[in-house]
Amino acid sequence: MPMSTEHDTNAVTSLLAAQGITVLERGWLSSNNVLLLGDGPTALVDSGYCSHVEQTIQLVQGALEGRPLDLLLNTHLHSDHCGGNAGLQGLFPALKTWIPPGQAAAVASWDPVALTYEPTGQSCPKFKHDGMVKPGQLVQLGQNQWEVHAAKGHDPHSVVLFQRESRILISADALWENGFGIVFPELEGIDAFDDVSNTLDLIEELAPSIIVPGHGAVFVDVYFALGRARSRLDQFANNPGKHRRHALKVLIKFKLLEWQSVTFENLLAWYLNTPYIATIEEREHTTKAHLVRASLQTLLNELHNSQALRIESGHIYNA
């Protein structure tokens, strides 16, 4: 008789604990935080969004149980994965922070445009980095060594981490149980759907038994997840407009998760003045405001119909 979902979850949690791994599942606005303990450096993978930094600190301190945090590693530099970096660096003065190669210069000079925080209408407090985590490396995190693999697609600089002996993969936004992250390079006119496909092939080749995703619950049915991801990728590759529309909804939902409620007019002002949204919509400077208003209203209606938000008396509420 197969295990119940509860028993299956408990078994996976026990297997992770045996490897010194604690997964702090956070939802969507903040990425999951993965704490690795053992004889090697005490390490945290990804730090969540800045508006949740106090909760991140509480969760990490509780899981550390008095230990220091030695190393903070970012799988990529989207704001929901590194927004807590500055807060953790302030709490742990000796903390070393490693980032993937590709945007080190933008971090060193702190360029929020190059790092996409300003163009996407998101926030990320300035943080420093002490080194880079490069594909092809073996890094000691907690009690185990982890392989670093490039995972292009969602972000051209993203990495995933694989522990070969236990076959545990920290997949960031390259693979979730029900999909993967927006393919941001495609929104900028850079072909990247093939990169997503190659990353999915890499994950299949690694054959992990447990996947710790950047968002959502830890899962073990890798075959199902890969099949679902490839199906979604095919839909987007065959209809890039569907991918752009999906991206607009995600950015709206992300902002609503941060605000929780907002008037239509204030949301419209943000929507009109966020450069990345104009890029996704392929909007010209001459585009009439009433057309943008109509576009936003249609997206909100679709999000309302999917129960992702509520619209009441001119206010939009997160749901």
pLDDT at 22: 97
pLDDT digits (tens, 9 = 90+) for 146-202: 999 999 999 999 999 999 999 999 999 999 999 999 999 999 999 999 999 999 999
Catalogue all structural domains in the chain, each as residue range(s) with its CATH number. 5-238 (3.60.15.10), 240-318 (1.10.10.10)
Phi-psi region of 181 (alpha: psi -120 to 50; beta: other; left: phi over 0): beta
Q: Which residues of the chain form beta strands (DSSP E)?
A: 21-24, 33-36, 43-45, 71-73, 96-99, 131-132, 138-141, 144-150, 159-163, 168-172, 210-213, 261-263, 309-312, 315-318
Series of mean pLDDT values for 10-residue runs along the chain (319 residues):
55 92 94 96 98 97 96 98 98 97 96 96 96 97 98 98 98 97 96 98 98 97 97 98 96 96 96 94 81 94 96 92
Percentage of residues in the chain having pLDDT higher than 70: 97
Q: How high is the pLDDT of residue 6? A: 56
Per-residue model confidence as pLDDT tens digits over 186-213: 999 999 999 999 999 999 999 999 999 9
Three-state DSSP state, 66: coil
